[in-house]
């Protein structure tokens, strides 16, 4: 059965009401018929629900659907993307361990790695996304995990997942991949050797900017450890948010097809605009890792980015003159969004750190929505005309 079909047909067990669409289970706890059933559940001898911090039918349906898309053995859903990232670190890393990560990552992930992991005695080494020799050289005797994003946020660097999988196996490391930008309908890191895959479900998975959520999928034994960590620490996904996200997965395939086709069209139309220094989109031949993107991605995704001539001031002017695109701290919405990473999502990085991962003063990231592509293009072109050369 095709993953898209499996997702749509995976659901909670029907109740006595025989509903077609999965109902909401808005409850904090679950009842038992007798003391023995309750004892067995708490002893992990059954899969019965106990408490919605541990599990809930709506959350289980969502994670099962994500596992079907990613080709994963098991999964655990969390309250946000960052809680998923943090749980994937803290379940497996301890005092004295070392993490290897690509240097181009989401700003909050950077803060966790550089500010909070060292508080637990966990060290890290950042590696340029495309430097395969640097990845190998960064591994130390105490390295426990490789973490990466591909495409990266916001610069859209592409990391060869086949290479990363082989590197992790060679050194017996956990390969942890943030697959948020691509989504599982465009890219499945597990087929290349990823042990864990994390998502901010807030983005493309939801697709309409409504709810927060995160999810981790991967090998069953690793996910069980994550479940135990999260069961005690509490970053649980609410049943309502899980219900919304699960319904969203039924349309993810068709939505991403439209997002990606819109983004590819727009990138082609403005790639050579005189107000731009450069533009990056994974499925453009001009992208430095175009061949890798074509190998491991089914399409180029819904994000492109470009550098405005004129730097910071041109970036501000671009955002201020948009009339259709939204200015908001999100991506993966049905509505197109423009952002200026240097002053928002990656503002906590130093200027030197931003430049090291190509987050330049005039960098603009466009999350392409579901509007008609010509309307999006018209708004981008009219505001480019008002930017200084």
- Answering whether pTM is above 0.85, one says yes
Measured CA to CA in angstroms, residue 101 lies from 129, 176, 178, 287 at distances of 9, 9, 11, 22
Contacts of 319 (CB under 8 A, 6+ apart): 327, 338, 340, 364
Q: Which domains does the chain have, with CATH numbers?
A: 3-249 (3.40.640.10), 252-384 (3.90.1150.10)
pLDDT at residue number 389:
61
DSSP string, 64-128: HHHHHHHT-SEEEEESSHHHHHHHHHHTT--TT-EEEEES---HHHHHIIIIIGGGGT-EEEEE-
Element (H, E) at 175: strand 174-178
Please provide residue 217's backbone torsions phi and psi, each rounded to the nearest 5 degrees.
Answer: -130, 160
User: Within 10 Å of residue 21's Cβ, how many Cβ atoms?
Assistant: 9
Chain Cα centroid distance, residue 207: 12
Is 95 buried (19+), middle (13-18) or exposed (0-12) by CB count in 10 A? exposed
Q: Which residue, among 132, 131, 140, has the nearest Cα to 167 in the 3D structure?
A: 132
How many helices (H) and strands (E) the chain has is answered by 14, 11
Residues across the chain: 389
CB distance 300 to 281 below 8 Å: yes
Element (H, E) at 5: helix 3-9
DSSP string, 374-388: HHHHHHHHHHHTTS-
Instruction: Determine the 3-state secondary structure of 172 from DSSP.
Output: coil
Distance CA 300, CA 283 (A): 5
Distance CA 186, CA 124 (A): 29
User: From first to last of its 389 residues, what are the pLDDT tens digits of the chain?
Assistant: 999 999 999 999 998 889 999 999 999 999 999 999 999 999 999 999 999 999 999 999 999 999 999 999 999 999 999 999 999 999 999 999 999 999 999 989 999 999 999 999 999 999 999 899 999 999 999 999 999 999 999 899 999 999 999 999 999 999 999 999 999 999 999 999 999 999 999 999 999 999 999 999 999 999 999 999 999 999 999 999 999 999 999 999 999 999 999 999 999 999 999 999 999 999 999 999 999 999 999 999 999 999 999 888 888 899 999 999 999 989 999 999 999 888 777 777 777 877 777 788 889 999 999 999 999 999 999 999 988 76
pLDDT at residue number 156:
96
CB distance 230 to 16 below 8 Å: no
Q: Are strands 98-102 and 143-149 parallel, antiparallel or unpaired?
A: parallel
Q: Which two tokens mark 255?
A: 């939505």
Torsion of Cα atoms, 366 then 368 then 374 then 379, to 10°: -40
């Amino acid at each position: 059965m095709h993953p898209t079909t499996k997702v749509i047909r995976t659901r909670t067990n029907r109740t006595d009401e025989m509903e077609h669409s999965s109902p909401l289970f808005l409850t904090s706890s679950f009842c038992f018929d007798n003391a023995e059933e309750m004892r067995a559940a708490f002893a992990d001898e059954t899969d019965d629900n106990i408490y919605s911090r541990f599990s809930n039918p709506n959350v289980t349906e969502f994670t099962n659907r994500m596992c079907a898309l990613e080709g994963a053995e098991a999964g655990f859903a969390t309250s946000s993307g960052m809680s998923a990232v943090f749980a994937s670190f803290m379940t497996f890393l301890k005092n004295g361990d070392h993490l290897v990560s690509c240097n181009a990552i989401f700003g909050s992930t950077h803060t966790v790695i550089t500010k909070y992991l060292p508080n637990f005695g966990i060290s890290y080494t950042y590696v340029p996304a495309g430097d395969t020799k640097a990845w190998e050289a960064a591994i130390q005797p105490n390295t426990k995990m490789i973490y990466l994003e591909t495409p990266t946020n916001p610069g859209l660097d592409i990391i060869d997942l086949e290479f990363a999988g082989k590197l992790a196996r060679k050194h017996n490391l956990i390969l942890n991949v943030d697959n948020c930008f691509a989504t599982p309908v465009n890219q499945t890191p597990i087929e290349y050797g990823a042990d864990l895959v994390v998502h901010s479900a807030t983005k493309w998975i939801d697709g309409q900017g409504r709810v927060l959520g995160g999810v981790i999928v991967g090998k069953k034994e690793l996910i069980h450890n994550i479940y135990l960590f999260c069961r005690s620490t509490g970053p649980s996904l609410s049943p309502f948010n899980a219900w919304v996200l699960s319904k969203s997965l039924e349309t993810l395939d068709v939505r991403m097809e439209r997002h990606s086709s819109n983004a590819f069209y727009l990138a082609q139309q403005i790639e050579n605009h005189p107000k731009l220094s450069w533009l990056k989109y994974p499925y453009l031949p001009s992208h430095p890792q175009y061949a890798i993107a074509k190998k491991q991605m089914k399409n180029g995704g819904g994000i492109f980015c470009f550098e405005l001539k004129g730097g910071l001031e041109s970036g501000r002017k671009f955002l201020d003159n948009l009339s259709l695109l939204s200015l908001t701290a999100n991506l993966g919405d049905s509505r197109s969004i423009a952002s200026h990473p240097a002053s928002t999502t990656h503002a906590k990085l130093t200027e030197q750190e931003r430049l090291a991962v190509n987050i330049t003063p005039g960098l603009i990231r466009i999350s392409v929505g579901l509007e008609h592509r010509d309307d999006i293009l018209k708004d981008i072109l009219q505001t480019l005309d008002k930017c200084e050369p």
